[in-house]
Amino acid sequence: MPELRKDPIIGRWVIISTERSKRPMIIELPTKPPDDGICPFCPGSEGLTPPEIMAFRDQGSPANGPGWRVRVVPNKFPALRVEGELDKTGEGLYDKMNGVGAHEVIIETPRHDRQLADLEPHQIAEVLQAYVARMQDLKRDTRLKYLLVFKNQGVRAGASLEHSHSQIIATPIVPKAINEEMTGARQYFEYKERCVFCDIVKQELDDRRRLVSENGSFISIAPFAPRFPFETWIMPKRHRASFEDTPQADLALLAAILKDTLLRTSKAVNNPPYNFVIHTAPCDKATAEHYHWHIEIMPRITRVAGFERGTGFYINPTPPEESARFMKELQL
Amino acid sequence: MPELRKDPIIGRWVIISTERSKRPMIIELPTKPPDDGICPFCPGSEGLTPPEIMAFRDQGSPANGPGWRVRVVPNKFPALRVEGELDKTGEGLYDKMNGVGAHEVIIETPRHDRQLADLEPHQIAEVLQAYVARMQDLKRDTRLKYLLVFKNQGVRAGASLEHSHSQIIATPIVPKAINEEMTGARQYFEYKERCVFCDIVKQELDDRRRLVSENGSFISIAPFAPRFPFETWIMPKRHRASFEDTPQADLALLAAILKDTLLRTSKAVNNPPYNFVIHTAPCDKATAEHYHWHIEIMPRITRVAGFERGTGFYINPTPPEESARFMKELQL
């Protein structure tokens, strides 16, 4: 059973996932494609994954066979497990709990040769719809405090399988970065009585130097203080705390701006590996006045060195005004 | 001039260092060795670095020539610059300041073919003494709030030159990770009236399962909630907030335990790239009752994926009790 442990100084929770490695010497996570080269995420290989949790399928196609457009399965090597009661204990001055949670994989397309950015907007909208459906379902489990949706594109970004997919990890704690955002945004709200993210949207729409693209419901920006070159954030124009409350009509607009931003990133820096993470409110703060969901897209271009790794203090050689202008001017 | 910019939500400062990259398309930091293959850190190449700030030299050898054992020079591609007044300004809801600071390189040995762990303890002690000397000098500049000493060993850990070296960056702000430690440690102190780090030292010495090595003044442990497999921390046994206040006699003991820990890391996981960062109190909190300096050593074994990168929430496949036992049992 994996274990969650808390750093006693800064309160950062870590998953100690013993099942992902049998001996302390094993250094790569054992999630590589099988040796025979068969991709477990391709149609026809459905038996190589655990049974599907949900899928968007062509009419009449049976579960766990081909005919799906988007397919959600449990992670074969889960970081957290759904079984059991949540058990919090101490060990001297330390705190820990058992690793109750969920870990699912969203296979974004049956096509092995397509990245998310290559899909048609209506196909990307179905991927987003799968995120929403899974989040709404997982939220009913009151042991879970946070639903984290993220994507690793490319081996250097941590993807263990080439076939395009994203992941959901549901955790019994709120991750550190989200706690920090909640705290910072609440302090801003207490002082200004406004959502800091709404103020950012307004300033970026007025200023336009960091605006990458825009549609009726969303903006895509290079943030003012980006950690990474060509980092972008997608934000809803209107205040909304939780991603999973996005209306169906807006998912199409979100798919469009996500595709546009990913394509511009890809063209600007030669199809880089990237990560994206959906930052949404914790399960019990779904309608917070001070929090505003957004997607952070982080290309892996520069190497993160000791300086950044040890301190959370990043050096970024590319001003966001330059990366935004460059991305905006690209012909897609 | 580089610029420091603050994320308006979580207050994280970022260095936007335009001088390290001329065009937004350039994706690697331009700190590679020159094409002719001459190492600027080797004896005889002293003219290829900016003039030295200090050096430990054999008697009679002139500055900026061979004969040094440890040599400190300004970074040729500094992330921050020493010139000018500190100028803090706003831009709508955003905050920024100019990039005043210092960025120095400590060349740890004249030998191109030696890593830090290969040096004799008395040579490592001289490297540590150079850190102390530079920190004590930089502290006199009241514009500087923090002195960050770190090392990147190996290209995958961000080292741009092979020749063994470490770096000091002096910043006009306190890095986020240190602020978090100061806050967490202060809260613990307010509640318990004890230093949380002193309590960790005591518990680890009693428990011994995570102890890697120990001498009269220091312990080396696998921390209870490590982010990375084979992560270790070196901590002074007695309370001391600031690294630069380490007595001369203790530097020899620190050199010994640092060498021992680095060698064990190297043997345990096949000479991995690693980063270490000295966590010390901010300049104006040099004698804090609640803070306790320590060194965090982070081997680069697993890939940091989107999950970790976006959330500060790490998955570690190796329990620290296992890595500590394995490291402790190694024959050096």
Q: pLDDT band at B36, cuts 50/70/90?
A: low
Q: Are A55 and A185 contained in the same domain?
A: no
What pLDDT is stored for residue A248 in this prediction?
A: 93
**B240 CA to chain A: closest CA distance, Å?**
16
What pLDDT is stored for residue B305 in this prediction?
A: 63
For A315, the token pair is: 């050096």
Which segments of chain B does DSSP mark as H helices, in order? 121-138, 176-192, 196-207, 248-268, 306-311, 320-329
Please answer yes or no on whether B93 and A326 come within 8 Å at the CB atom. no
Q: Does A291 touch chain B (CB under 8 A)?
A: no
Final residue in a domain of this structure, among A142, A174, A206:
A174
What is the per-residue pLDDT across A175-188, written as a single tens digit (0 to 9) for each?
A: 989 999 999 999 99
Is residue B19 in some structural domain?
A: yes
Please answer yes or no on whether B322 and A199 come within 8 Å at the CB atom. no
Which segments of chain A does DSSP mark as H helices, in order? 121-138, 176-192, 196-207, 248-268, 306-311, 320-329
| A195 in Cβ contact with A189 (< 8 Å) | yes
Q: pLDDT band at A305, cuts 50/70/90?
A: low
- Name the packing angle between helices A176-192 and A196-207 (round to 10°): 80
Is residue B181 in some structural domain?
A: no
Q: Are B167 and B211 contained in the same domain?
A: no
Report the C-alpha gap between A15 and A24 in whole angstroms: 15
What pLDDT is stored for residue A27 in this prediction?
A: 40
| A245 in Cβ contact with B33 (< 8 Å) | no
What pLDDT is stored for residue B304 in this prediction?
A: 66
Q: Are A130 and A184 contained in the same domain?
A: no
Report the C-alpha gap between B194 and B187 in whole angstroms: 10
Tokens 């917070």 locate to A288
Is residue B78 in some structural domain?
A: yes
Which 8-state DSSP code applies to residue A34? Answer: P
Tell me whether strands B13-16 and A314-316 are parallel, antiparallel or unpaired.
Answer: parallel
Interface test with B, best of A116, A155, A228, A315 (most B CBs within 10 A): A315
A279 carries an active-site annotation = no
Q: Does B205 touch chain A (CB under 8 A)?
A: no
Q: How many helices (H) and strands (E) does chain A have?
A: 6, 15
Q: State the average pLDDT over residues B227-231.
A: 93
Q: Position A239: which residue type? A: H
| Higher pLDDT, residue A290 or B270 | A290
What is the per-residue pLDDT across B173-191, written as a single tens digit (0 to 9) for each?
A: 999 899 999 999 999 999 9
* Residues on chain B touching A310 (C-beta within 8 angstroms): 148, 150, 177, 275-277, 279, 296, 298
| A149 in Cβ contact with A184 (< 8 Å) | no
Please answer yes or no on whether A313 and B224 come within 8 Å at the CB atom. no
Is residue B55 in some structural domain?
A: yes
Identify the closest residue of chain A to B307 by CA–CA distance.
Answer: A150
Report the C-alpha gap between A294 and A300 in whole angstroms: 19
Final residue in a domain of this structure, among A144, A174, A204:
A174
**What's the domain count of chain A?**
2
Is residue B105 in some structural domain?
A: yes
Which 8-state DSSP code applies to residue A101? Answer: -
Q: Are A67 and A160 contained in the same domain?
A: yes
| B21 in Cβ contact with B79 (< 8 Å) | no
Residue of A103, A163, A165, A279 marked active site = A165
Report the C-alpha gap between B223 and B232 in whole angstroms: 6
Q: Are B61 and B82 contained in the same domain?
A: yes
Which 8-state DSSP code applies to residue B219? Answer: E
Q: Are A161 and A19 contained in the same domain?
A: yes
| A42 in Cβ contact with A20 (< 8 Å) | no
Q: Does B17 touch chain A (CB under 8 A)?
A: yes
Q: Degrees (nearest 5) of the Cα angle A296, A301, A307?
A: 85
Q: Are B144 and B255 contained in the same domain?
A: no
Please answer yes or no on whether A306 and B177 come within 8 Å at the CB atom. no
Q: Are B45 and B172 contained in the same domain?
A: yes
Q: State the average pLDDT over residues A268-287.
A: 94
With CA atoms as reference, report the closest residue to A180 among A60, A42, A332, A291.
Answer: A291
Ranked by mean pLDDT, the top range of A21-25, A308-312, B23-27 is A308-312
Q: pLDDT band at A165, cuts 50/70/90?
A: very high
With CA atoms as reference, report the closest residue to A128 among A64, A72, A212.
Answer: A72
B87-106 burial, b for 16+ CB within 10 Å, e for fewer? Answer: eeeeeeebbbbbbbbbbbbb
Q: pLDDT band at A241, cuts 50/70/90?
A: very high
Q: Are A163 and A305 contained in the same domain?
A: no
CATH label of the domain that carries residue A21: 3.30.428.10
What pLDDT is stored for residue A160 in this prediction?
A: 79
Calculate what percentage of chain B has a pLDDT beyond 70.
92
**Per-residue pLDDT for B14 more than 70?**
yes
Nearest to B178 among A150, A178, A311 (CB): A311
What pLDDT is stored for residue B19 in this prediction?
A: 61
**Per-residue pLDDT for A255 more than 70?**
yes
Which 8-state DSSP code applies to residue A108? Answer: -
With CA atoms as reference, report the closest residue to B215 among B249, B166, B266, B265.
Answer: B249
| B314 in Cβ contact with B303 (< 8 Å) | no
What pLDDT is stored for residue A156 in this prediction?
A: 75
Q: Are A118 and A196 contained in the same domain?
A: no
Nearest to B225 among A7, A24, A315 (CB): A7
| A16 in Cβ contact with B228 (< 8 Å) | no
What pLDDT is stored for residue A30 in this prediction?
A: 38
Tokens 């500060």 locate to B312
Range of the domain at B241: 188-329
**Per-residue pLDDT for B30 more than 50?**
no
Q: Are A149 and A243 contained in the same domain?
A: no
- Window B:234-253, CB contacts with A under 8 Å: none
Please answer yes or no on whether B312 and A181 come within 8 Å at the CB atom. no
Q: Position A85: which residue type? A: E
What is the per-residue pLDDT across B81-92, written as a single tens digit (0 to 9) for each?
A: 888 888 999 999
Q: Are A114 and A187 contained in the same domain?
A: no
SS (H, E, C) chain A: CCEEEECCCCCCEEEECHHHCCCCCCCCCCCCCCCCCCCCCCCCCHHHCCCCCEEEECCCCCCCCCCEEEEEEECCCCCCECCCCCCEEEECCEEEEECECEEEEEECCCCCCCCHHHCCHHHHHHHHHHHHHHHHHHCCCCCCCEEEEEEEECHHHCCCCCCCEEEEEEECCCCHHHHHHHHHHHHHHHHHCCCHHHHHHHHHHHHCCCEEEECCCEEEECCCCCCCCCCEEEEECCCCCCHHHCCHHHHHHHHHHHHHHHHHHHHHCCCCCEEEEEECCCHHHCCCCCCCCEEEEEECCCCCCHHHHHHCCEEECCCHHHHHHHHHHCCC
pTM: 0.92
Q: State the average pLDDT over residues A296-325.
A: 84
Tokens 């263990």 locate to A160
Q: Does B171 touch chain A (CB under 8 A)?
A: yes
Q: pLDDT band at A10, cuts 50/70/90?
A: very high
Q: pLDDT band at B25, cuts 50/70/90?
A: very low
**Per-residue pLDDT for A61 more than 60?**
yes
What pLDDT is stored for residue B240 in this prediction?
A: 97
Q: How many helices (H) and strands (E) does chain B have?
A: 6, 15
Tokens 């696998």 locate to B222
Lowest mean pLDDT among A293-307, B28-42, B282-296, B303-317: B28-42
Is residue B182 in some structural domain?
A: no
Final residue in a domain of this structure, among B176, B208, B241:
B176
Complex prediction ipTM: 0.90
Tokens 């979580």 locate to B10
Nearest to A15 among B157, B200, B316 (CB): B316
Q: What is the mean pLDDT of chain A?
A: 91
**A110 CA to chain B: closest CA distance, Å?**
23
Bridge partner list, A165: A107
Q: State the average pLDDT over residues A294-315.
A: 80
Contacts of B140 (CB under 8 A, 6+ apart): none
Contacts of B122 (CB under 8 A, 6+ apart): B252, B255
Tokens 């741009």 locate to B160
**Per-residue pLDDT for B54 more than 50?**
yes
Q: State the average pLDDT over residues A56-68.
A: 96
**Per-residue pLDDT for B322 more than 80?**
yes
